[in-house]
Chain A
């Protein structure tokens, strides 16, 4: 064979290697990819007692009857909803699927309308990123709406604003979560010393029950956003406190001078990850399970120290009993802020 023929053949092989393969975006391929991603990466099949192959047997035959993207979306969303996990979402340009079963049957325990009455914050409260803050009498109040934009500099100004306050209310009700490291660092602000506050595991393979040994997570004041370790603090929770907020509350259970007041949190103890389907839709799911310091899973929520709910009468009387209770605790257990 002449040398130049070898070159031509090799060039052709290289060009073939670089050819772009068209993805299979059929409903069958999209459904199968969604099922497989969950099968290999989702971390709570056992805790939720889910037979995922059985779920496939129920929903896979329905793909043949699917007509158009909306029906395919609805079918995959219905399959995912069997998990009842707030961290499982199908995220697409045509909509986002989510499970609501984890909070539907619980009291709301939060009304911004009541909280912005003159008895509480009034209308002239301050906002800094995800933080809404003001004083209610001699108590500092911070509402953390999300763990996405919580900065050290904002907290330094808030600290200045709260310098004469007897204690702080950290209201994380209806906070859907965000950046775990921000939640950890805010929690660390209330700790005097490095404390074991939880455990984490990860999957070792695609098998449903193949996990690493629990590895300890410490909350370390060296990573704190601000030094509030001597402050009396009450954390307000409700069922819609989810994900990173759930982990925040789990850690705060062990903070000195801290009381958790409200309803059980919404859970979402699994660190969520996202992946994509061949047609570009995104699939989010719980991938890394987390536990409290007692090694109990926090996937199904964290119980408060004191369970307080907002009743219909409270709403009619325009009262927020959780805030009222928190103020009473702070007044009863007043500490020197220095």
Chain B
């Protein structure tokens, strides 16, 4: 519990530092909000041993800023909320899937420009608050599964962009960003722990909190995006994956992929907002 409190204090301290610096962050490279739709693949071993797939809708915000006098230091803030109604393979059961993420990263940027194309690499750290809620009413005493995580992560972003000559497209880009947690706190039931148990037994909700770090949590939460930037909006297609090699919520770690397939979300998104090509 002491480590969890320490982590929360660090998060609060970091956010206050960001607030102090935000007055200097005047140059916004990207500041957009978008809506999207696509497909999602869900594997939740708490509720089922099958993969559920279906339609999803997404609301997403992306904000990238850097200091006016220093374009090497960047802030990347991303918010994402998606909802999906997913079905099992035989279409006999439906699950409601809600996933949200707020991430704030500070990075160093490496840039390389050539005529007609450019490369951008960002590396740094991020603070991430994420959560998943799956609701499957098939089981009387275990209808839902939820997982909330507060984590400090390593952050990496790679971008390759071209500027097509003589077209309305301002920028054609491909980006891949990935976060891999280094330390954090997870609120989720154990493998095999029912929600009746959480409700009825003496430790109650307190039993859900557990410390997560590289000793019990190997995870990669990434996003691959193809984007077409126009003057006032961006069209993009993205694939979001969240793959855990070692699941942080189980007391006895068990090496397994979150799923044999890539568990994730493929969506087409239309962003509206401000984009300044750097």
Q: Please report A residues at the B interface, Cβ cutoff 8 Å.
A: 3, 6-7, 10-11, 14, 17-18, 20-21, 23, 25, 33, 36-37, 40-41, 43, 178-181, 184, 200, 202-206, 210, 212, 215-218, 271-280, 282, 287-288
Bound Cα distance A280, B197 (Å) = 28
Q: Is the C-beta of B86 less than 8 angstroms from some C-beta in chain A?
A: no
Q: Which of A10, A202, A273, A275 contacts B190 (CB 8 A)?
A: A202
B239 to chain A, nearest CB (A): 5
Closest 6 CB pairs of A and B: A280-B90, A203-B192, A23-B89, A280-B92, A215-B201, A202-B193
Q: Which of A178, A181, A287 contacts B200 (CB 8 A)?
A: A181
Q: Is the CB of B194 within 8 A of A212?
A: no
Q: Is the CB of B139 within 8 A of A17?
A: no
Q: Is the CB of A20 within 8 A of B53?
A: yes
Q: Which of A205, A217, A287 contacts B252 (CB 8 A)?
A: A205
Using an 8 Å CB-CB cutoff, how does the interface string of B91-119 with A read, 1 for contact, 0 for none? 11100000000000000000000000100
Q: Is the CB of A276 within 8 A of B93?
A: yes
Q: Is the CB of B252 within 8 A of A18?
A: no
A309 to chain B, nearest CB (A): 31
Q: Is the CB of A276 within 8 A of B202?
A: no
Bound Cα distance A178, B239 (Å) = 41
A138 to chain B, nearest CB (A): 35
Q: Which of A205, A271, A276 contacts B191 (CB 8 A)?
A: A205
Bound Cα distance A215, B203 (Å) = 8
Nearest to A24 among chain B residues (CB) is B89
Number of contacting residues on B, CB 8 A?
47
Q: Which of B162, B190, B261, B262 contacts A212 (CB 8 A)?
A: B190
Q: Is the C-beta of B251 less than 8 angstroms from some C-beta in chain A?
A: yes
B88 to chain A, nearest CB (A): 6
Q: Is the CB of B174 within 8 A of A202?
A: no
Q: Write out the residue numbers on chain B whose beta carbons fall within 8 Å of the beta carbon of A277.
A: 90
Bound Cα distance A274, B47 (Å) = 8
A217 to chain B, nearest CB (A): 5
Bound Cα distance A143, B193 (Å) = 32
Q: Is the CB of A271 within 8 A of B196?
A: yes
Interface residues of B in 45-98 (CB under 8 A from A): 48-50, 53, 88-93
Q: Is the CB of B174 within 8 A of A10?
A: yes
B242 to chain A, nearest CB (A): 14
Q: Is the CB of B141 within 8 A of A179?
A: yes
Bound Cα distance A3, B174 (Å) = 10
B93 to chain A, nearest CB (A): 6
